[in-house]
Every structure is written in structure tokens, then in C-alpha cells.
């Protein structure tokens, strides 16, 4: 069996860089093959209202968490309502998702004596099947996938660093997906906490790491809830994103 030897830093960055560029290029190509679909209207119209000063949940209904719309509103404020900006956004995030997935696969296979190029080969299908490869316009579902991948990657990195701050920021990042898309962002949060708690129960040496991760998670959730309360009112937020959304609209 082929075994991976140590690689220089430049070689370690080569595969994820190529995967990033290939995925981004595919998203750009996809945008040349599709029209401006009606699906893009909802996030961008909502983001435009926010960019103009309207407050979601308090001044107009919104059945989804705010982070996707705030990101688009920030782009509109910074660059104006240009479609090329949205293409660049989708291309960059699509490339990042593929590169982060490569990093995760590489870490999971490390130490198993696998072929050095196996992580890249396993990640190749994400070039035509990545988060923005099918629907190439900014949307909350793909962005939630990217934040989830980043959360998994940071947890894996924290296991290597064995640094309290690494675990703290890992917990902080786990609290983000639920404020991009509440459904599978919430499921991801619950499953990750359960998995890490089970690991800490089976391995007492990991319990300190779990405490630091829990601290980061609680602090970030408290901050997000406090901001929502100040800006829009937590009761308004829960009414639209949970009570109303769960009724099936």
C-alpha cells in the first residue's frame, strides 16, 4: 500500500488551491448557462430592504434567520446591486466549500497509510456537484452547508491543536449555522453536541475540551440572541422563524 510522506507547505496548499479554482470556475460557467432565475429574487429583495434600513421580523415578516440576508445586504451596501457581485460571491463560496471538504477528508485519512492523492480524488466530484454547482446563485442552503463544513473542520483542527481557545472558537462556530438556516443548522448543532458529548463520556481526557467548546457555544448563542432582542425583538424572531415557519406557511 502506498504511504503518504511529509509534504512541503507549498505542496500541501496545491491540491486545495486547484480544487478551489476548479469549483469556482465551474460556478462561473454555470452562470453562463442559466438565466437569472426567480429564486434569486427572494434573498436579494429581502437583502435590499435590509440595506435600505428596514428591520426584518419587526418591520416585515421573514421566515428564515438573518445571516444570509445580512451578508447580501452588506454586499449591496458595499458594491451596489450588481449581478456580477452575486456571481463572484457564489463562485468564491463554492470554491471554499470544496477546499474545506478536501481538508476534512485529508485529516480523516491521515495516519491510515492511504495514497497521498486520495483526498483530492474523493473531493473531485464536488467540482460539478458542489454547494453552488447546481444552483449557482446566492442562497441560504448552500451557505449553511459551507458554515457546517467550516465548523467540522475547526473541530478537527482543535483536536490537533489541543488548545482551549481552539475549542472555544469551535463551539462559537457551531452556533452559526442555525442562524443561517434554522432547520438543518439546528439539526447539525444538536448532532455535533451529542457526538462530542458521547466522545467526552467515553474518553474522560476530552472532557476539558468539551467544557471549552460548550463555553464558546453558549457565549455565541447568548450574543446572537441579545443582538436579535435589541434589533428586532426575540419574540418577533421566534414568531416568524419558528412558530410561523413550522406551520408550513
CA 96 to chain centre: 10
Is residue 232 within 8 A of residue 55, CB to CB? The reply is yes
- Domain range list for the chain: 9-246
Is residue 168 within 8 A of residue 212, CB to CB? The reply is yes
What is the structure's pLDDT at 213?
97
What is the structure's pLDDT at 34?
83
What is the structure's pLDDT at 2?
40
Spans of the chain, pLDDT less than 70: 1-11, 36, 113, 248-249
What is the structure's pLDDT at 155?
96
Q: What is the mean pLDDT of the chain?
A: 92
DSSP 8-state assignment for residue 247: T
What is the structure's pLDDT at 3?
46
What is the structure's pLDDT at 13?
86
Is residue 22 within 8 A of residue 47, CB to CB? The reply is no
The three cell numbers of residue 63 are: 421566515
DSSP 8-state assignment for residue 14: H
User: Distances from the Cα of 235 to the Cαs of 23, 176, 219, 226, 245, in angstroms?
Assistant: 40, 20, 20, 12, 14
Taking phi over 0 as left and psi of -120 to 50 as alpha, with beta for the rest, 98 belongs to alpha
**What is the DSSP track for 44-67?**
HHHHHHHHTT--BTTTB--SS-SH
Distance of alpha carbon 173 from alpha carbon 171, whole angstroms: 5
Is residue 179 within 8 A of residue 67, CB to CB? The reply is yes
Specify the pTM: 0.91
Residue among 14, 225, 226, 191 nearest 117 (CA): 14
Amino acid at each position: 500500500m502506498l504511504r503518504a510522506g511529509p509534504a512541503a507547505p507549498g505542496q500541501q496548499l496545491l491540491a486545495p488551491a486547484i480544487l478551489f479554482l476548479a469549483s469556482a470556475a465551474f460556478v462561473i460557467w454555470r452562470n453562463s448557462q442559466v438565466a437569472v432565475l426567480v429564486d434569486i429574487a427572494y434573498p436579494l429583495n429581502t437583502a435590499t430592504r435590509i440595506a435600505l434600513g428596514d428591520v426584518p421580523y419587526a418591520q416585515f415578516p421573514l421566515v428564515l434567520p438573518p445571516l444570509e440576508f445580512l451578508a447580501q445586504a452588506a454586499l449591496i451596501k458595499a458594491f451596489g446591486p450588481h449581478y456580477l457581485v452575486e456571481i463572484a460571491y457564489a463562485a468564491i463560496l463554492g470554491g471554499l466549500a470544496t477546499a474545506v471538504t478536501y481538508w476534512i477528508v485529508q485529516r480523516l485519512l491521515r495516519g491510515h497509510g492511504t495514497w497521498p492523492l486520495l483526498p483530492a480524488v474523493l473531493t473531485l466530484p464536488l467540482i460539478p456537484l458542489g454547494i453552488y454547482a447546481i444552483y449557482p446563485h446566492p442562497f441560504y442552503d448552500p451557505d449553511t452547508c459551507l458554515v457546517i463544513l467550516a465548523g467540522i473542520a475547526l473541530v478537527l483542527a482543535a483536536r490537533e491543536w489541543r488548545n482551549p481557545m481552539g475549542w472555544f472558537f469551535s463551539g462559537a462556530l457551531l452556533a452559526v449555522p442555525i442562524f443561517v438556516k434554522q432547520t438543518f443548522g439546528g439539526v447539525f448543532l444538536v448532532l455535533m453536541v451529542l457526538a462530542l458529548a458521547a466522545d467526552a463520556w467515553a474518553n474522560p481526557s476530552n472532557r476539558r475540551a468539551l467544557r471549552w467548546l460548550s463555553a464558546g457555544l453558549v457565549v455565541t448563542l447568548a450574543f446572537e440572541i441579545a443582538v436579535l432582542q435589541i434589533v428586532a425583538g426575540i419574540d418577533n424572531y421566534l414568531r416568524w422563524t419558528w412558530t410561523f415557519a413550522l406551520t408550513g406557511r
